[in-house]
Amino acid sequence: MELPQLLDATFQQTFQSKPLLICSPGRVNLIGEHTDYNQGFVLPAAIDKAIYLAVGPRQDDELHFVAHDLDKSFKGSLQSLSRTKTWADYLLGVLAQFQQAGHQLSGLNCIFAGTIPMGAGLSSSAALENAVGFALNELFALGLDRLDLVRLSQRAENDFVGVKVGIMDMFASMMGKADHVIKLDCRSLDYQYAPLRMDGFRVVLCDSRVKHSLASSEYNTRRAECEKGVQLLKPYYPEIDSLRDVTMAMLDEHLKDTEPLIYRRCAYVVQENQRLLDGYADLQAGDLEAFGQRMFGSHEGLSKWYEVSCPELDTLVDIAREQPGVLGARMMGGGFGGCTINLVREESLDNFTQVITQQYKARTGKETQIHVCRLMDGTHTI
């Protein structure tokens, strides 16, 4: 039985009513890493690894949630939405944001499960939050648009769960379009779609199966280094507000010799924004070969200039670079572990999988997990 049908049957058996079924996808980011908090561009897409939600309203204020994959349940009330520091917070946080925005809700029955691999950096939390918000909007006919729902999901994670994420994960999951990537301007939230025609190609994720403890502390350090670069340049260029407004000429003149570390960090971000804009043009022209080369360039910048890679991620990219049929590869996400994202020709897929699996084990002593993805539509009813 397919997962949506299983949840449908389980919901009817548990709650004696027919649910609304929602599919909310995870996301990948093709290029544009660590550019979001610098008010730059990102190029994400929704993928066919998703959270599925079976949900229905109650006649009272009670909340009954079942995490099917975890075999765990939660019972609470709309009258007392407070943090539990468990998986339930991703649902409770969205409900709390809807209440704060003045929307009238009733209690809720909800069962959910997913096909998003845990810990791979594919934004299962954003997918779940989007699914809940989308469901509330449908069930209670609230008339919110998708961008409203994205902002509510982000606030739920920022203010209730307590993780200060940017908007990209929720945006990609909600706004995705099959066989397209989204060029998102993180400053204005303007967005455009570009085709990523996957006839004969696949997006392949290779999970390093590591998460180094550096990730969160170094993330904060990088943000501070970027902000310092802007502060150092502002006396010369009062009009700049973020690295989005900075050019390589500015960096070369004022930071290259005096602040070599800050220079490298800022230079990576400025170059990555340009790589993304050039890559977007490649996709519009249907030139996947050129786009793949920009992915390799992105990894080089992340590894050598921004220094957020790790030996395992570098190894995965090095192996991919040597394989026939691989157009591009790079680390994806905050860094220090997680996945690489690869563009691979379909006929080379079996060989790629075999070689990556064997060589990664030989070089690092670790296993990898491979996930082959298609680009799909954003959060929707089934």
Q: Mind listing the pLDDT tens digit for each residue in 297-332? A: 999 999 999 999 999 999 999 999 999 999 999 999
Q: Mind listing the pLDDT tens digit for each residue in 87-97? A: 999 999 999 99
Domain boundary at 196, 225, 253, which? 196
What count of other Cβ atoms lies within 10 Å of the Cβ of residue 172?
30
How large a percentage of the chain has pLDDT more than 70? 100
Q: Mind listing the pLDDT tens digit for each residue in 148-159? A: 999 999 999 999
Q: Are residues 77 and 61 in the same domain?
A: yes
Q: Are residues 10 and 117 in the same domain?
A: yes
Q: Are residues 212 and 135 in the same domain?
A: no
380 in a structural domain: no
349 in a structural domain: yes
Residues marked as binding for Mg(2+)?
125, 157
Residues marked as binding for ATP?
119-125
Of the CA atoms within 13 Å of residue 123, those in its CB half-sphere come to 32
Three-state secondary structure along 282-312?
A: HHHCCCHHHHHHHHHHHHHHHHHHCCCCCHH
- 346 secondary structure, DSSP code: G
Q: Are residues 216 and 170 in the same domain?
A: no
Cα(219)–Cα(41) distance, rounded to whole angstroms?
18
Average confidence score pLDDT of the chain: 95
Q: Mind listing the pLDDT tens digit for each residue in 229-249? A: 999 999 999 999 999 999 999
Domain boundary at 165, 196, 227, which? 196
Domain boundary at 170, 196, 222, which? 196
Residue 8: domain span: 3-196
Q: Are residues 31 and 84 in the same domain?
A: yes
Q: What proportions of the chain, in percent to the nearest 5, are helix, strand and coil?
A: 45, 25, 30
pTM, entire model? 0.92
Phi-psi region of 143 (alpha: psi -120 to 50; beta: other; left: phi over 0): left
Min mean pLDDT across 120-134, 263-277, 360-374 is at: 120-134
Instruction: Tell me what pLDDT residue 235 has.
Output: 97
Of the CA atoms within 13 Å of residue 153, those in its CB half-sphere come to 34
Q: What is the mean pLDDT of residues 116-144?
A: 92
What's the total number of domains in the chain? 2
Q: In what order do the strands lie in the sheet with 108-114?
A: 72-77, 62-67, 108-114, 44-57, 20-29, 380-381
Of the CA atoms within 13 Å of residue 332, those in its CB half-sphere come to 29
Active-site positions read: 169
Q: Are residues 185 and 309 in the same domain?
A: no
Instruction: Tell me what pLDDT residue 22 has.
Output: 98
Residues marked as binding?
33-36, 119-125, 157, 219
Cα(182)–Cα(169) distance, rounded to whole angstroms?
12
Q: What is the mean pLDDT of residues 109-119?
A: 91
